[in-house]
C-alpha cells in the first residue's frame, strides 16, 4: 500500500531506499527493508500494478568483533586506556594488563598501539606515550554500521575485511513505475470463478488474476512404483512371454458357487467357514448360475458322477448362492474354464470371441475344444488373524493351462520354467491336497539367504468332477498353479514385515527408494 500511495503521488519511485516506512522516521535503506519491499514489488508486478528495475549494490556490515569495537572501542584504544600516563603512576606490567583487558585484547591492542606510537615501555611495564588518541577504527566501523560504506574508500574497507571486522554484503534497491493495472487499491484479484459470482453477476466487474502460463509449479518429489507393482509387472511379462493371456479378474465379489462349488470344494469345507471367508450381507444372494451347469455341479456334489462318488451330503442352494470376497483367483479360473468349455457344450457364450482366448486358436478335434493358457495377478481376501506375514487381503498369481492329454510331467515342467524365469532354479514338489485338484503339489524353493526350503506355491491337475461338469471332453486336462505376489516381493526386497509392504503403515520412502527389481 505504501508503494502504491507513493507512486500515486510521484508516478516513479527512483530509489526504494528513500521510502520512509510509516511509524519510523528512518528511510528503508537497510538490506532487510529492501527484501521486504522486493516481496511487495513482486506481488504487485504479478498483477501488473507496477513495473520495477533492480539495481545491485554491494555494502558492508559489521562482524560480531566489529560490533564489539563500535560499543567498547578498538583493542588498541582499550589497552591505551588501561595504562597510566607517563610519569604519573607506576608502569603496568604485562601480566596485569592481560588481567585487566583480557588476553586477546592485550595481545592485539599492544602491537597496534605500539605501531601508532600510543604506548611505550618503561622498565618492566607499559605506560601511555600520548595524552589523547582518536580511535579511528571505532569511528570507521561506526560509519560502516550506519551507511554500509566508508567515505575513506575501498582500500580501507579491504583492510577491515581482512581483519574480519566487517563483511561484504550484496544488496539490491529498486526503481518503481506504475504498471498497466495501476490502482491504489490492493484488493486481491479473484483466482476462481465461483457459482456465487455467476449468480450475483459480480463476475462482470471482478478483477481476475491472469493465468501465469510460465509458472513451473511445485516440483513433485518423484513418483515411484510400489514394489508389488514392479514384481507384478515382471510376473506378467513372464506369463506373456510364455504365451499366456490375462484373465479378467475385476470381480472381487464372487458367489460360493464359483469360488467353491464349481471347484468341487465340499459345502462343509472349513475354508468356507465364517472364520476363513468374508461373506456379504447385502445383497443376500447371488444371481442364479447357469441352470444346467448348476444342476450338474449340485448332482456331482450330492450323488457323484464322472467316476466320482460325490460327497453324499444334501446340497444347499443357499450355501451356493452366498456372496463373498473371493478367497482365491481360482474362482475366476473356474469362470473362464466354464466359458472355454462353451464350444464343447455347443453353446455360444456371450463375450467369448476368438479374441478372448487368443492363445487357444488351435484347430481342435471337432469337439469344440481349443487349448488355452491363462493367467491372472490380482487381489484375494481371507479372514486371517493379521500378523507380520499375514494380511486379510493379498495378491495371488495364478496360471492355468488347458489342453488334451496333459500329464503331471507337463505341470512340473511348466512350473520349473516359470520359476526359473523368476530366478528360482532349485524347486521341489511335495504331494498335497486340494479339493479341486488331483494330484496336487506344493512347490518349495531353496532360499539361499535363509538356507532352507520355503513354500512358494500350490498346484495341481483339476479334477474330472470339475472339468466334465463344465462340459469339457474326457481327454481334456487342465492344470494350474497359484502363489502369492507378496511372498516373492518380500524376499526380493528383504522385507520381513508385510505391513511395510501393504496398508496404511507403509513408509513412503520404502516405496520411493526401493530398487528396480529383476528376477
Ligand atoms: N487356489 C490355490 C490356492 O489358493 C492355488 C491353486 C491354483 C492350486 C490352481 C491348484 C490349481 O492356494
Distance 441 CA to ligand 1 centre (A): 10
Q: What is the pLDDT of residues 261-303, one digit of tens each?
A: 999 999 999 889 888 999 999 999 999 999 999 999 999 999 9
Is the predicted pLDDT of residue 354 greater than 70, yes or no?
A: no
Of 272, 398, 402, the residue with max ligand 1 atoms within 8 A of its CB, to mutate for a pocket test, comes to: 398
| Tens digit of each residue's pLDDT (9 = 90 or more) over 93-108 | 999 999 999 999 999 9
Kindly report, residue by residue over 225-257, the tens digit of the pLDDT.
999 999 999 999 999 999 999 999 999 999 999
Residue nearest to atom 3 of ligand 1 (CA): 482
List of long-range contacts for 357-363, beta carbons under 8 Å, 24+ apart: 357/245, 358/245, 359/243, 359/244, 359/245, 360/402
Mean pLDDT is lowest, of 19-33, 249-263, 346-360, 504-518, for: 346-360
Q: Which helix (H) or strand (E) holds 492?
A: helix 486-493
What 3-state class would DSSP assign to 294? helix
Residue 367's pLDDT is: 84
Ligand 1 pocket test target in 260, 262, 328 with most atoms within 8 Å of CB? 328
Average pLDDT, integer, range 213-219: 86
Give pLDDT, residue 379.
96
- Pick the atom of ligand 1 nearest to 396's CA: 4
- Euclidean distance between CA atoms 342 and 282, whole angstroms: 31
Q: What is the pLDDT of residue 240?
A: 95
For 157-165, what is the mean pLDDT? 93
- Dihedral over alpha carbons 188, 192, 196, 198 (to 10 degrees): 110
Please tell me the distance from the alpha carbon of residue 336 to that of residue 342, in angstroms, as a whole number.
10
Question: For ligand 1, atom 5, which residue shows the shortest CA distance?
Answer: 482
Query: CB under 6 Å to ligand 1: residues?
Result: 328, 330, 398, 434, 437, 458-460, 480-482
What's the pLDDT at 495? 85
> Cα(233) to centroid of ligand 1, in Å?
21
**Whole-number mean pLDDT of the chain?**
90
Q: Could you read off the pLDDT of 305-314 as tens digits, one per residue?
A: 999 999 999 9
| 31-48 confidence digits (pLDDT tens) | 788 888 999 999 999 888
Q: Averaged over 217-231, what is the pLDDT? A: 86
* CA-nearest residue, atom 2 of ligand 1: 482
Confidence at 364, pLDDT banded by 50, 70, 90 = low
Tell me which residue of 152, 178, 179 sits closest to 166, measured CA to CA: 152
Q: What is the reported pLDDT for 320?
A: 97
Mean pLDDT, rounded, for 507-517:
86
**Residue in 92, 62, 88, 60 with CA at minimum distance from that of residue 78:** 92
Give residue 443 CA to ligand 1 midpoint distance, Å.
11
Would you state the cell numbers that stand for residue 171, as one nine-digit string? 544488496
How far apart are the CA of 440 and the centre of ligand 1, in A?
9
User: How does pLDDT run across 46-80, given as a tens digit for each residue?
Assistant: 888 999 999 998 889 999 999 999 999 999 999 99
**pLDDT score for 337:** 95
Where is mean pLDDT largest: 168-177, 319-328, 445-454, 497-506? Answer: 319-328
* C-beta neighbour count of 290 within 10 angstroms: 15
Cα of 299 vs centre of ligand 1, distance in Å, is 24
**Index of the ligand 1 atom closest to the CA of residue 440:** 10
Ligand 1 centroid distance, CA of 462 (Å): 10
Q: Which one of 432, 480, 487 would you pick to mutate in the ligand 1 pocket, going by the greatest count of ligand atoms within 8 A of its CB? A: 480
The tens digit of pLDDT for each residue in 368-395 reads 898 999 999 999 999 988 888 888 999 9
Those residues with Cβ within 8 angstroms of residue 52's Cβ, 6 or more apart along the chain or in another chain: 41, 45, 174, 175, 176, 177
Cα(394) to centroid(ligand 1), Å:
14
Give the domain 75-134 fold.
Arc Repressor Mutant, subunit A (1.10.10)
Report CA(328)–ligand 1 centroid distance (Å): 7
Q: Going by CA atoms, what residue is nearest to atom 10 of ligand 1? A: 459
- Which one is predicted more confidently, 514 or 67? 67
Q: Which residue owns the Cα nearest ligand 1 atom 8? A: 459
Average pLDDT over residues 187-193: 85
- The predicted pLDDT at position 358 comes to 55
ipTM of the assembly?
A: 0.95
pLDDT over 70, % of the chain = 97
CA 151 to ligand 1 centroid distance, Å: 90
Does 25 score more than 80 pLDDT?
no
pLDDT grade, residue 186 (50/70/90)?
confident
**pTM (predicted TM-score):** 0.60
Domains in the chain: boundaries: 75-134, 230-513
| Residue 356, pLDDT score | 58
Under 8 Å between Cβ of 297 and 263: no
| pLDDT of 451 strictly over 90 | no
| SS3 of residue 239 by DSSP | helix
Substitution candidate for ligand 1 out of 327, 402, 434, 436 with most atoms within 8 A of CB: 434
- Nearest atom in ligand 1 to the alpha carbon of residue 462 is 11
Q: Whose CA is nearest to atom 4 of ligand 1?
A: 328
When pLDDT is averaged across residues 333-359 and rounded to a whole number, the result is: 76
How many CB atoms lie under 10 A from the CB of residue 340?
28
Task: Indicate the DSSP class of residue 34.
Answer: H
Predicted confidence at residue 510, as pLDDT, reads 86
Q: How many Å lie between the centroid of ligand 1 and the Cα of residue 458?
A: 5
Class level of CATH domain 230-513? alpha beta
Residue 339 CA to ligand 1 center (angstroms) comes to: 19
Amino acid at each position: 500500500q505504501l508503494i502504491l500511495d507513493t507512486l500515486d503521488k510521484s508516478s516513479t519511485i527512483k530509489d526504494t531506499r528513500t521510502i520512509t516506512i510509516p511509524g519510523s522516521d528512518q528511510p528503508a535503506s537497510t538490506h532487510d527493508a529492501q527484501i521486504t519491499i522486493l516481496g511487495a514489488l513482486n506481488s504487485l508486478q504479478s498483477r501488473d500494478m507496477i513495473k520495477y528495475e533492480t539495481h545491485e549494490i554491494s555494502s558492508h556490515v559489521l562482524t560480531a568483533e566489529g560490533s564489539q569495537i563500535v560499543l567498547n572501542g578498538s583493542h588498541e584504544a582499550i589497552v591505551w586506556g588501561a595504562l597510566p600516563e607517563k610519569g604519573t603512576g607506576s608502569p603496568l606490567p604485562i601480566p596485569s594488563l592481560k588481567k585487566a583487558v583480557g588476553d586477546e585484547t592485550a595481545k592485539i591492542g599492544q602491537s597496534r598501539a605500539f605501531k601508532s606510537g600510543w604506548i611505550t615501555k618503561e622498565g618492566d611495564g607499559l605506560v601511555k606515550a600520548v595524552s589523547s588518541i582518536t580511535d579511528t577504527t571505532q569511528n570507521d566501523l561506526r560509519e560502516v554500521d550506519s551507511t554500509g560504506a566508508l567515505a575513506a574508500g575501498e582500500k580501507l574497507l579491504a583492510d577491515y575485511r581482512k581483519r574480519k571486522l566487517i563483511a561484504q554484503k550484496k544488496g539490491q534497491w529498486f526503481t518503481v513505475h506504475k504498471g498497466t493495472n495501476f490502482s491504489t487499491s490492493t484488493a486481491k484479484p479473484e483466482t476462481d470463478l465461483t457459482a456465487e459470482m455467476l449468480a450475483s453477476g459480480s463476475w462482470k466487474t471482478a478483477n481476475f488474476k491472469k493465468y501465469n502460463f510460465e509458472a513451473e509449479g511445485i516440483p513433485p518429489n518423484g513418483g515411484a512404483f510400489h514394489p508389488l507393482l514392479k514384481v507384478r509387472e515382471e510376473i506378467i511379462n513372464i506369463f506373456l512371454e510364455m504365451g499366456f493371456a490375462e484373465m479378467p479378474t475385476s470381480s472381487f465379489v464372487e458367489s460360493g458357487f464359483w469360488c467353491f462349488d464349481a471347484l468341487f470344494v465340499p459345502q462343509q469345507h472349513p475354508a468356507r467357514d465364517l472364520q476363513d471367508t468374508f461373506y456379504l450381507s447385502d445383497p443376500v444372494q447371488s444371481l442364479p448360475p447357469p441352470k444346467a451347469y448348476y444342476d450338474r455341479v449340485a448332482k456331482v456334489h450330492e450323488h457323484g458322477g464322472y467316476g466320482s462318488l460325490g460327497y453324499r451330503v444334501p446340497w444347499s442352494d443357499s450355501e451356493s448362492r452366498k456372496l463373498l470376497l473371493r478367497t482365491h483367483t481360482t474362482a475366476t479360473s473356474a469362470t473362464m474354464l466354464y466359458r472355454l468349455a462353451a464350444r464343447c457344450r455347443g453353446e455360444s457364450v456371450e463375450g467369448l470371441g476368438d479374441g478372448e482366448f487368443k492363445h487357444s486358436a488351435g484347430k481342435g478335434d471337432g469337439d469344440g475344444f481349443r487349448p488355452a493358457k491363462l493367467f491372472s495377478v490380482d487381489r484375494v481376501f481371507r479372514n486371517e488373524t493379521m500378523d507380520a506375514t499375514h494380511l486379510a487381503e493379498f495378491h495371488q498369481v495364478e496360471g492355468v493351462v488347458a489342453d488334451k492329454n496333459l500329464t503331471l510331467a507337463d505341470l512340473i515342467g511348466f512350473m520349473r520354467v516359470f520359476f526359473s524365469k523368476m530366478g528360482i532354479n532349485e524347486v521341489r514338489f511335495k504331494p498335497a491336497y486340494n479339493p479341486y485338484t488331483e494330484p496336487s503339489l506344493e512347490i518349495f524353493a531353496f532360499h539361499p539367504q535363509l538356507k532352507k526350503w520355503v513354500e512358494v506355491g500350490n498346484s495341481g491337475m483339476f479334477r474330472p468332477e470339475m472339468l466334465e461338469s463344465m462340459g469339457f471332453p474326457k481327454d481334456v486336462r487342465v492344470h494350474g498353479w497359484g502363489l502369492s505376489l507378496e511372498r516373492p516381493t518380500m524376499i526380493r526386497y528383504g522385507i520381513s514385515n508385510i505391513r511395510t509392504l501393504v496398508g496404511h503403515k507403509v513408509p513412503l520412502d520404502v516405496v520411493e527408494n526401493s530398487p528396480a527389481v529383476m528376477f
